Structure 1
Amino acid sequence: MDTKSLIIDISTTLFQQKGYLGVGLNEILKACNLSKGSLYHHFPNGKEELLIACLHSINETITTDMETIFQYYSSTQTATQAMIEKLVAQFDRDGMIIGYTFSSLVSEMGSLSEPVRNACALSFTKIQEIYTKKLVADGFTKETAQSIAIMMTASIEGGIMLCLTQKTSDPLKIVSQVLPNLLREF
C-alpha cells in the first residue's frame, strides 16, 4: 500500500472512531508513523483535505459493497435486508460500524466546511442512486423510487446512529424488520 493510501485508511478509522475534531494532527502522524512534512506532501491543504479524501474512500467502500449486494439479490426488499443484516453483524462483532457510515462526520463538520458538506452530499446521492436503480427495476416509477430512496437512506443512517449512541444493534434490527414491509406497501 502506498503512503497516501495508508494515511487515508488510518485517518478514516480515527475520524470514524473519534470524530474530526477529536483527532489531532499529531495523533494521525503518530498512527501513520510519518513526519508532518510527509503528510503535507500528500495533503498540502492539511487535515480538511485529508478528511475529504477519507470521505471519498468511505463513499467508495460503501457504494461498492452496496452495489454488490443489490446486484446479488433479486428485489430491493431482500437486498436491503441483507445489507442491514451485514451492518448488524458488524456492530454485534465490533461494537461499531466502521467504514460504512459518515453521518457523525456530517453532523460534526457539514455546517463548518462547504467542501466537506459537498463530499458528504455526493456520498448520500450515490447511495440513493443505488436504491433508486433497484427500486425502478422492481417496477416503481423513477419519482416514487427517488422518494423511497430518501426514506431508506434516512432510516438506515438513523438506525446506524442509534446503534452507536445506544450501544446496541437493536435499532438496525428493527429497521431491517420494518423497512422491507414498508416497501411492500408501496
Structure 2
Amino acid sequence: MDTKTYIIETATSLFQKKGYMTVGLTELLQACDISKGAFYHHFPLGKEQLLITCLEALNDMISQDMQSIFDTYDTTREALLAVLDKLIDAYDTEGTIVGYTFTSIVSEMGSLSENVRIACERVYERIEQMIAHKLEQDGLAADEIRQRALLITATIEGGIVLSLTKKTSRPLHIISQQLGQII
C-alpha cells in the first residue's frame, strides 16, 4: 500500500472513531508514522483536503459494496435486506459499524465547511441514486422513486446512528423488518 492510501485509510478510521475536530495533525502524523512534510506532500491544502479525500474514498467503497449486493439480488427489497443484514452482522461482530457511516463527520463539519458539506452530499446522493435505480428496475412509478430512495437512505442512516448510540443492532433489525414489509 502506498503512503497516500495508508494516510487516507488511517485518517478515515480516526475521523470515524474520534471525529474530525478531535483528531489533531500531530495524532494523525503519529498514527501514520509520517513527517509533516510527507503529509503536506500528499495533501498540500491540509487536513480538510484529507477529509474530503477520505469522504470520496468512503463513497467509492460504500458504492462498490452496495452495487455488488444490488447486482446479486433481483428486487430492491431483497437487496436492501441484504445490506441491512450486512450492517447488523458488522455491528454484532465488531460492536460498531465502521466504513458505512460518516454521520459524525457530516454533523461535525457539514456546517463549518462548504467543501466538506458538498463531499458528504455526494455520498448520500450516490447511495440514493443506486437505490432509485433498483426501485426503477422493480417498476416503481417514476414520481415515487426519488422520494422513496431518500426515505430509505435516511432510514438506514438513522438506523446506523441509533445502533451506535444505543449500542445495539436492534434499530437495524426493526428497520429491516419494517422496510421488508413496505417495499
Q: TM-score, normalised by structure 2?
A: 0.98
Map residues 1-186 of structure 1 onto 2, 5 A cutoff.
1-183=1-183
Residue 157 (structure 1) shift:
0.2
AA paired with 1:15? F
In 2, Cα distance between equivalents of 1:157 and 1:86: 14
1:126 Cα deviation (Å)? 0.4
Alpha-carbon separation, structure 2, partners of 1:165 and 1:50? 26
Residue identity opposite 1:28 in structure 2: L
Q: What's the offset of the Cα at 1:143?
A: 2.3
Deviation string 1:128-159 (CA, Å, 9 cap, x unpaired) is 00000000000012321111000000000000
Amino acid at match of 1:3: T
Instruction: Measure how far apart 1:102 and its partner are.
Output: 1.0
Q: For the Cα contact (< 8 Å) 1:20–1:105, is it kept in 2?
A: yes
Query: Which 4+ stretches in 1 moved above 4 angstroms?
Result: none
Provide the C-alpha distance between the structure 1 equivalents of 2:36 and 2:172, rounded to a whole number of angstroms: 40
SS of residue in 1 equivalent to 2:100? coil
Letter in 1 for 2:22: G
| Deviation readout 1:74-130 (Å, 9 max, x if unpaired) | 100010000001001001111111111111110110000000000000110000000
Q: In structure 1, what is the Cα distance between the partners aligned to 2:179 and 2:22?
A: 34
Q: Assess if the C-alpha contact under 8 Å between 1:8 and 1:50 holds in 2.
A: yes
Q: Distance in 1 between matches of 2:119 and 2:58?
A: 11
Worse-matched range after superposition: 134-143 or 118-127: 134-143
Amino acid at match of 1:138: D
Residue type of the partner of 1:117?
R
Superimposed CA distance per residue, residues 41-97 of structure 1 (whole angstroms, 9 cap, x where no aligned partner):
100111110000000011001000000001100100010000001001001111111
May I ask how many residue pairs the two structures share in their alignment? 183
Paired-residue identity, % = 51
Whether the 8 Å contact between 1:132 and 1:142 is mirrored in structure 2 is no
SS of residue matched to 1:23: coil
